[in-house]
Amino acid sequence: MAAAPGLFVTFEGGEGAGKSTQIRRLAAALRQRGFRVLETREPGGSKGAEAVRHVLLSGAAEPFGVRMEAILFAAARSDHVERVIRPALAEGVVVLCDRFLDSSRVYQGITGNLEPAFVETLERVAINGVAPDCTIVFDLPAIVGLERARRRADHQGEDTPDRFEREELETHEKRREAFLDIAMREPERCRVIDATKPEEQVAVEIQAIVEPLLPVAGQIPTPAPETAP
């Protein structure tokens, strides 16, 4: 959305890639510098979308097929875009979103085997013109990501992986390739990060990507320097 005064950055990649940790770090760094930042996630991010999130991640919609799931992801995205993301961007906020349209392209489109035209139509309706200015793709071997996701779940006392984490390693590897493929096709929007690097280093790389894109109007104005007499 070139016209909006804010900045819309999405974070994509497989499970356990460290997206949420990096979003938290970036948000804190930007806030410290006076930017207004919104941290959000999909599926979810608005009241309506959070209600749909549970249906999707519990696997309750799985028996009804991948089309049903794709439409529910799109319904959640539409609500999130219209009620939260678009208004925030219009106010000059930096929006950091954990997963967005590329997750639907990859999980429902590529590994869900949905026809591209169906996925594209849902995407168009759901985002309604609100495309990310920048997408950071976290790349790491699926086995490493799944192991991290499992450790995180243990740590948080969750004993069962979600509907998508449960799938075969081969499926997760296919998703990795699909994210890389999107990044290759859309180099102006997407930047790939090696998510096996230490957290600190990944954070530095992300800062460097986002820095030139930051909205001037998003910062709390500092008093103009006094002009010499």
Binding site for ligand TYD (CB under 6 A): 15, 19, 41-43, 57, 73, 98-99, 103-104, 107-108, 162, 164-165
Q: Is the peptide bond before 43 cis (omega within 30 degrees of 0)?
A: yes
When the beta carbons of 123 and 218 are compared against ligand TYD, the nearer one is: 123
**Are 6 and 218 contacting, i.e. CB atoms less than 8 angstroms apart?**
yes
Q: How far is the CB of 198 from ligand TYD (least distance, A)?
A: 20
Q: How far is the CB of 39 from ligand TYD (least distance, A)?
A: 13
Sign of CA dihedral 98, 35, 86, 210: negative
Q: How far is the CB of 10 from ligand TYD (least distance, A)?
A: 10
When the beta carbons of 43 and 218 are compared against ligand TYD, the nearer one is: 43
Q: Which residues pair with 11 in a beta bridge?
A: 98, 136
When the beta carbons of 58 and 217 are compared against ligand TYD, the nearer one is: 58
When the beta carbons of 43 and 132 are compared against ligand TYD, the nearer one is: 43
Q: Which residues are CB-contacts of 216 (< 8 A; sequence separation ≥ 6)?
A: none
Going by the DSSP 8-state scheme, the letter that residue 133 receives in this structure is S
